[in-house]
Amino acid sequence: MRNKVVAGNWKMNNDINESINLISAIKRDITDSCTNVKVIICPPFTSLDTASTLLKNSNLFLGAQNLHFAESGAYTGEISAEMLKNVGCEYVIIGHSERRTLFNESDELINKKLISALANNLFPIFCIGETLEQREKGITFRVIENQIKLGLKDIDSKEIKNCIIAYEPVWAIGTGKNATPEQAEEVHSFLRATLENLYSKSISDDIIIQYGGSVKPENAKELMQMPNIDGALVGGACLNSDSFIKIIEAANKY
């Protein structure tokens, strides 16, 4: 039985004061009854330390939005997995489509980042998803399979158990246009079959596969009811505590 996981990707939003306000509101308003869902908050690097302090002794977990695969060294502007652990992160988003498209991150680079996260005991939220053009060409499954195979290269059965997969169709991210529950479910069940082929049935049954792409309070219930959707990676709607909590409540209930 898989529990739901909801993660909020703040992207490049919220300075330190805004971060304090948002986390305080989430902590204040989230109900104690949300016990079936794990909640992860992923602020920008500059707010991680503050967030880490605020999240101590709460049921909320801290994640980062990116890392560099090297342990340390001459990588100006970059942050290592060990640094993220040190500041209190347990999770890290890797391979977000904005990183893939805006920063030219390849599947090979994403694979290195996943390996580094796992080696440093961080749980990666590994994002995959097709563009609109790829969906219209009818190659969604091929694209997804390729991203999974290349991203998970050399990651063994023990390590994959520490990964969360996030299916995020690129055409649905930040566009207000979510995949229908049926479209998402189709890809999630394909992903489970792919993971069964790569690893085993029990691994594929246990792995968390989140959906991401314009998840809002209005569509969360339908998405969360799908048998292979185990939660959400939320962008825009996580910047407001009311809408984020409504999504968490939907994940908790369905």
Give least dist CB 234 to ligand PEP, A: 5
* From candidates 66, 111, 204, 214, binder to ligand PEP by CB under 6 A: 214
Give the residue with the Cβ less far from ligand PEP, 110 or 234: 234
Say whether 90 is catalytic.
no
The verdict on 212 binding ligand PEP (CB under 6 A) reads yes
Distance between CA 85 and CA 97 in Å, rounded? 23
* From candidates 132, 136, 174, 200, binder to ligand PEP by CB under 6 A: 174
Give least dist CB 224 to ligand PEP, A: 14
The verdict on 5 binding ligand PEP (CB under 6 A) reads no
Q: Which of 96, 98, 105, 130 is catalytic?
A: 96
Give the residue with the Cβ less far from ligand PEP, 43 or 213: 213
* From candidates 6, 9, 48, 231, binder to ligand PEP by CB under 6 A: 9
Give least dist CB 173 to ligand PEP, A: 4
Q: Count other Cβ atoms within 10 Å, centred on residue 44.
A: 18
* From candidates 26, 234, 245, 251, binder to ligand PEP by CB under 6 A: 234
Chain centre distance of CA 174 = 15
* From candidates 48, 229, 235, 249, binder to ligand PEP by CB under 6 A: 235
Residue 208 forms beta bridges with which residues?
164
* From candidates 34, 173, 229, 250, binder to ligand PEP by CB under 6 A: 173
Give least dist CB 7 to ligand PEP, A: 8
Q: Which of 168, 185, 188, 249 is catalytic?
A: 168
Pairing of strands 164-167, 231-234: unpaired
Say whether 168 is catalytic.
yes
Give least dist CB 205 to ligand PEP, A: 25
User: Hey, what amino acid is at 27?
Assistant: K
**Interface region with ligand PEP, contact rule CB under 6 A, candidates 13-21, 36-44, 188-196, 213-221:** 213-221
- Which residues are part of the catalytic machinery? 96, 168
- Residues that bind ligand PEP in the complex, under the rule CB under 6 A: 9, 168, 173-174, 212-215, 233-237
